[in-house]
Amino acid sequence: MKKFFTLFFASLFSLSLLAFEGSRLSISSLATSAEMKIEVDGRKFTMKNNSITLSYLAEGYHQVKIFREKKGKGLAFGRNDVVVYSNSVFLKRGFHLDITVNRFGKVLIDERRIDRDDDWYQDEDDYYDNGNGGWNDGYGNVMNGREFEVLKESLRKEWFEANRLISVRFIIDKNNFTTQQVKELMLLFTFEKNRLEIARYAYSKTVDKKNYYLVNEVLTFSSSKDELARFIRNSK
């Protein structure tokens, strides 16, 4: 089974954003006179150098909105901006969908298959060899060991914990995780409140919830452990 992997760095404050499963979306603007802002599946991004690329996106429909900033009206998303494009696009696994806004404001869409000459990593392993204990069997979108290490390395390069937290939340939305992977994500944060936030946010996307008590090992305060326990009880 072929899988396509890549690493992406782009977003507001140079965020690292990853999602899993071989589709890629890029949005660019040829107009240099106006700031463009992007919203994908409700997540807001600002273009860096008039372009942004989101990799590892799940196959399926994604809601895309592109805004052009009104001069002198501030940076509030949507409120003071002109909507250039708003539509649901379908991303196919193994394909790169490119959306370009030309200098006249016209939106052009192109699509191509990702091949060996691209910067994606190809793997022939089946799920038994992918380093996640076979969790993809019946669950889907569980990162294998190699993917997860690449993910952690990219997140470590994000200096600010607030930005790293936004990135991790985006990643969790697009993937499933094992309890051990959640623990390792939590360890990427210094502040207890951020570790707790990850533990809460990732619970619904964890495939082995019976082991979730193990995340308490990376929480320092008993109050945090109690809060997580209450959250889990209320989630059932």
H or E element at residue 28:
strand 24-29
Which tens digit of pLDDT belongs to each residue from 127-154?
Answer: 223 344 443 333 445 777 777 888 888 8
Top mean pLDDT of 27-41, 53-67, 155-169, 212-226 is at 212-226
Q: Taking the CA of residue 159 as centre, how many other CA atoms within 13 Å lie in the half-sphere pointing to its CB?
A: 2
d(CA 163, CA 46): 13
Local confidence band at 220 (pLDDT 50, 70, 90 cut-offs): very high
Overall pTM > 0.85? no
Top mean pLDDT of 42-46, 104-108, 113-117, 207-211 is at 207-211
pLDDT value at 3 more than 50: no
Domain ranges in the chain?
1-159, 177-236
pLDDT (0 to 100) of residue 71 = 63
d(CA 189, CA 194): 6
In this structure, what DSSP letter does residue 78 have? T
pLDDT value at 116 more than 70: no
Local confidence band at 81 (pLDDT 50, 70, 90 cut-offs): confident
d(CA 29, CA 105): 9
- The encoded tokens of residue 97 equal 């969908």
- Nearest Cα neighbor of 78 from 48, 41, 32, 38 is 38
- The pLDDT > 70 percentage for the chain reads 73
User: 52-88: string of b/e by CB count within 10 Å (b at 16+)?
Assistant: bbbbbbbeeebebbbbbbeeeeeeeeeeebeebbeee
